[in-house]
Structure 1
Amino acid sequence: MTHLEPHQPAPAPAESDGRLTNPANKTRLMPADLHEATSRLRAGMVARLTTVGVLTDTLLRDALLYLRREVLLPHAYVRVSSPGADPIEWRLLDGAHPEDRQEWLDLIHSDESILLQRDGEPLDALTRGPVTGGHMTSMSTYTPATVEALQAMELRPGQRYLELGSGPGVSLALAATITGPSLATGVERDGHMTAFAQRNLDRLGVEATVVEGDAREGHELRAPYDRIHSGIGVPCVPPPWVEQLAPRGRLLTTLATRTPSWPGQLLVTRTATGTVEAVLQGRARGYRPQLGYRWLSVLDHRTRIEADPGRARPTRLAPPSDADHGFWLAAAYLTPGLVRDFQAETMTIVAPEDDSWAVAGPGDGTVRSNGPRDVWAELEDLHARWEEAGRPERYRVDLQDGTGIQHVTSNTGLKALAWTLPPLAAVPRQSP
């Protein structure tokens, strides 16, 4: 385990001109009681995660208590404008500024995602306060998801660890604290974020390395790896990831479809003899796709749906439970182009590119549909197939059939649900 020296902050300086100081030095400028305050906040965060049953691994628990998040997350954006607003209005919190400090501390120890970078911007001279425009290109995933992913990896001391799309390095630092010095590597495509994360990891004394590069290529120089974790969603598994996985290794990634509504989590294991096994299951949430991936959105249709939800008809399908992740995952592939409006009062599914939607209920055995595509009829048919297939919650993925095509199937029976994963898409090059 990495051993970190206790933090000894210097007194706070005089007020600045509103620009954030160099992230490598910023935490030194905070008041002397910050270390005690953050220790209490970390303890509260760990207690909360333990109480709700998310955190169960004792090694990860110790790492969470130990790792000073405020060094890795010295600032945070807060969205001010409502969904759909363009340009987006933000407010940047500077952890070194007295007026921002408490809100920033509460945020970085909460269960929220921490937004850190817009449009690949440099990170050493950001301006605190109101900011207009831009879209987030880097964030720290909300803590419960990070905990679940790292626990699924079954991290132990001495393992070689690779983090793909490491961002500010929170999960990389947690993994490195468990695996030990010089065994954890992160790959980050953005040069500014790479330098930012490495500086902060070095300040903490975490002996982990962040390299700039394309996460889809892994990092062959230090392969093979006992554990590989992808912090980006991908449509299929890049072959280098599997090639760089050691015997008895585990690889965890999100398989992202074009809808953010129904992601899948893929766990790949390599046996001691080299055989690769992959299991895909639905999840409530997953990691965001790589840059260049185009999401489906319901925002352009929300007002129209409220004004005219469509013609009512009887339905044999009650709205499927949100907990039926196996069904919704299959829907993402076998009824493509659909997205859920989770803000609607009753279940609302939209096919934005077909200008069609379906509104279920509420609870009266009817569904209302509008547009040329009968969205609900497709879900009715798929749900019947899903039940005939045994209501699968997990799917097998063949990553090594020799063709490069990655096949998914629920089982080997005649009524199995099956599909192929889409290929990797080209990703725009990062601007210098």
Structure 2
Amino acid sequence: MSLDVDATTAGRRAELVGRLESEGTLTDPRLRAALLSVPREGLLPHAYVRVSGPGADPIDWRLLDGSHPDDRAEWLDLIHSDESILVQRDGERLDALVRGPVTGGNMTSMATYTPATVEALQAMQLGPGQRYLELGPGPGVSLALAAAIAGPGLAAGVERGGHMAAFAQQNLDRLGLGVTVVEGDALDGHPAGGEFDRIHSGIGVPCVPPAWADQLAPGGRLLTTLATRTPSWPGQLLVTRTATGRIEAVLTGRPRGYRPMLGYRWLSAVDHRARVKAEPGTPRPTRLAPPPDDAYGFWLAAAYQVPQVVRDFQAETMTLVAPEDGSWAVAGPGEGTVRVHGTRDVWGELEDLHHQWVRAGRPSTYTVDLPADGGLQSVTAGTGAGQLAWTLPPLAAVPRPSP
């Protein structure tokens, strides 16, 4: 790489860091230094851009090749943006991709957008000398940043896809950070065992795999997304092991989270948009005004207590759809009314949950019990008659990779 190119990419990293700092996202000086020093272009030599609109099948893509002069400007903008970087379709090989248009396939690996990566690494309070494990590192951007902070030989990743594992390892080796990536099922933790001071999952899971808790060292922190079938209201789970070995876990509603493992079926309101517009439902009075978007604790509870419901964030007024039941609720048309359609009164379920949530003290966080015997994991907030509680679905709810 020429000195001019090095200067250009270093400048782009500086711009990225400046933007994250000005937005208040980046506050950790160690992570700031890592973001400035790790050349992300070496980990993301190509990127897919979606050409098709929502709901298209098959999907049209365009592959940007960062080494091609016609793609370079757009590629540099993308990999230094706040967007997720799409890098692999259907587990494909990554050593012979051809730039340009391509049709079909679904994304199986990506680099999560930088603000989410920054928030996750800061939440784990990663420092020098700590052993770090990344589960589902994809192309390895967050793994490289963690390695730059922890130090050589202390960061490792477990990647389910053989092609992606080899791709990430090859690119990470060029950076000289002493990182190892092994192929394996991330649900089983690191195949070599051992304990780690920090564990980060780049994949959403329905509950905490027992191996993850087992591999968490005393004083350690584990961060993951608890995924339901709706992408609308994710939860971030922070698990800590005290110096005496006791496990504690706190679940917090968040505006965004990591995607579930490959094969997990999202709910989507896209296919129902035309139907909702044509027949928004029967108006009825309600005492529940649409809860604000940032009531994350409430919406997190809704993901579990009002199941199989997804929000259409593109709708003019709050619209919640239960696609598998052909039911929906649309806020309005006036204040104090809502329109409901179908066999489920989705808004009625939301009203009942809101009442329970208020009685529980309007929790923004929940306590999660992780039984040592690997039993069902429970979520609670509040006490006595005002307690709001549910049980997390078992791990089998996330499809495992095919042999």
Q: TM-score, normalised by structure 1?
A: 0.91
Instruction: Please give the secondary structure, in 2, of the residue aligned with 1:39.
Output: helix
Q: Which residue of 1 aligns with 2:312?
A: 341
Distance 2:306 2:321 in 1: 11
Q: Which residue of 2 aligns with 1:281?
A: 252
Q: Deviations over 1:329-362 (max 9, x none)?
A: 1011111111000010100000011100000025
Q: Which residue of 1 aligns with 2:242?
A: 271
Q: Which residue of 1 aligns with 2:330?
A: 359
Q: Deviations over 1:260-305 (max 9, x none)?
A: 0011000000000000000001111100001121111111111100
Q: Which residue of 2 aligns with 1:173?
A: 144
Q: Which residue of 1 aligns with 2:232?
A: 261
Distance 1:322 1:403 in 2: 34
Distance 1:108 1:294 in 2: 27
Query: Aligned AA for 1:336?
Result: P
Q: Give percent identity, aligned residues only.
A: 72
Query: Aligned AA for 2:308?
Result: G
Instruction: Please give the secondary structure, in 2, of the residue aligned with 1:414.
Output: helix
Instruction: Please give the secondary structure, in 2, of the residue aligned with 1:228.
Output: strand
Distance 1:413 1:33 in 2: 66
Instruction: Please give the secondary structure, in 2, of the residue aligned with 1:297.
Output: coil
Structural mapping, 1:135-174, within 5 Å? 135-174=106-145
Is 1:306 matched up with 2:277? yes
Distance 2:382 2:340 in 1: 33
Distance 1:45 1:310 in 2: 46
Q: TM-score, normalised by structure 2?
A: 0.98
Q: Which residue of 1 aligns with 2:96?
A: 125
Is 1:418 matched up with 2:380? no
Structural mapping, 1:31-50, within 5 Å? 32-50=3-21
Q: Deviations over 1:129-152 (max 9, x none)?
A: 101000000000000000000000
Q: Which residue of 1 aligns with 2:176?
A: 205
Q: Which residue of 2 aligns with 1:368?
A: 339
Is 1:247 matched up with 2:218? yes
Query: Aligned AA for 1:54?
Result: T
Query: Aligned AA for 2:362?
Result: R
Query: Aligned AA for 1:323?
Result: D
Query: Aligned AA for 1:227?
Result: R
Distance 1:32 1:171 in 2: 26
Q: Which residue of 2 aligns with 1:78?
A: 49
Is 1:182 matched up with 2:156? no
The answer to whether the Cα contact below 8 Å between 1:396 and 1:411 also exists between their aligned partners in 2 is: no
The answer to whether the Cα contact below 8 Å between 1:259 and 1:332 also exists between their aligned partners in 2 is: yes
Instruction: Please give the secondary structure, in 1, of the residue aligned with 2:67.
Output: coil
After superposing the two structures, state which structure 1 stretch, 262-271 or 397-406, moved more.
397-406
Q: Deviations over 1:237-271 (max 9, x none)?
A: 00000000000000000000010001100000000
Instruction: Please give the secondary structure, in 2, of the residue aligned with 1:354.
Output: coil
Q: Which residue of 2 aligns with 1:429?
A: 401
Q: Deviations over 1:347-383 (max 9, x none)?
A: 0000011100000025522101111100001101110
Query: Aligned AA for 2:347?
Result: W
Compute the displacement of 1:314 (Å).
1.1
Q: Deviations over 1:70-107 (max 9, x none)?
A: 00000000000000000000000000000000000000
For the aligned residue pairs, the C-alpha RMSD in angstroms reads 1.1
Distance 1:91 1:272 in 2: 50
Query: Aligned AA for 2:330?
Result: V
Distance 1:51 1:209 in 2: 33
Q: What are the ranges of 5 or more consecutive residues in structure 2 without an aligned counterpart? A: none
Distance 2:130 2:40 in 1: 23
Distance 1:363 1:51 in 2: 39
Compute the displacement of 1:415 (Å).
1.1
Instruction: Please give the secondary structure, in 1, of the residue aligned with 2:8.
Output: helix
Distance 1:54 1:364 in 2: 36
Q: What are the ranges of 5 or more consecutive residues in structure 1 without an aligned counterpart? A: 1-8, 10-30
